[in-house]
Amino acid sequence: MIEVNASRDEKAELVQRLGTLIVRWQEATQRYDEEVGAIFQLGPAERLCLSFLTSGPQTASAIARATRLTPAAVTSLIDRLEARNFVRRQPDPHDRRKVLVEPAEATVALIRRAYEPMAIEGAATLGKRSIEELRLLSEVIEEVTEIQNRMTEQLQSGG
């Protein structure tokens, strides 16, 4: 019985340690992103918009959903970012009535300076792991992200 209890205690300690490490990771990410914002003079909504655009050109309404801003606020946000060459508006090739917003030269420069080195070092660190370890890590990150998204929705709905 002692081994079972020791195993349970060790597991509980590891779960606690991982929880703490996830919080520290979130804090480190936030500090890094805030420093990027300070260097490039970008507020949180602007950084969120640019991050969202790395997945490809988006409509203003999609940006509004991603940033949780009103359509008028998003128009102002896009105008500010466009004036500073972080984004550009392009006609939607599939629907000429729509406009898509895409990253421009200043965003490319920001990514090269601030996020590409992080991606390179992160890939090198992850490259040391086995396929099985990487699969497990991917699974855990997906599950933890889902928990965080669900908890955010609960907070937003007052629950």
Split at pLDDT 50, 70, 90, the class of 95 is confident
Going from the C-alpha of 36 to that of each of 4, 43, 61, 76, the distances in angstroms are 47, 10, 25, 21
Taking only the tens place, the pLDDT of each residue in 38-84 is 999 999 999 999 999 999 999 999 999 999 999 999 999 999 999 99
Angle of helix 71-83 versus helix 60-67 axis, rounded to 10: 100
State mean pLDDT over 19-42. 96
Residue 2, pLDDT > 80, answer no
Chain position carrying tokens 């939607």 = 92
Split at pLDDT 50, 70, 90, the class of 7 is confident
Residue 120, pLDDT > 90, answer yes
pLDDT the model gives residue 105: 97
- Tokens, residue 132: 């099985």
Split at pLDDT 50, 70, 90, the class of 3 is low
Cβ proximity of 113 and 91 under 8 Å: no
Q: How far apart are CA 159 and CA 153, in angstroms?
A: 8
What is the percentage of the chain residues whose pLDDT exceeds 90? 87
Residue 1, pLDDT > 60, answer no
Contacts of residue 74, defined as CB under 8 A and 6 or more positions apart, other chains included, come to: 49, 60, 61, 63, 64, 67
pLDDT the model gives residue 134: 97
Split at pLDDT 50, 70, 90, the class of 159 is confident
- Strands (DSSP E) along the chain, which ranges? 87-92, 95-103
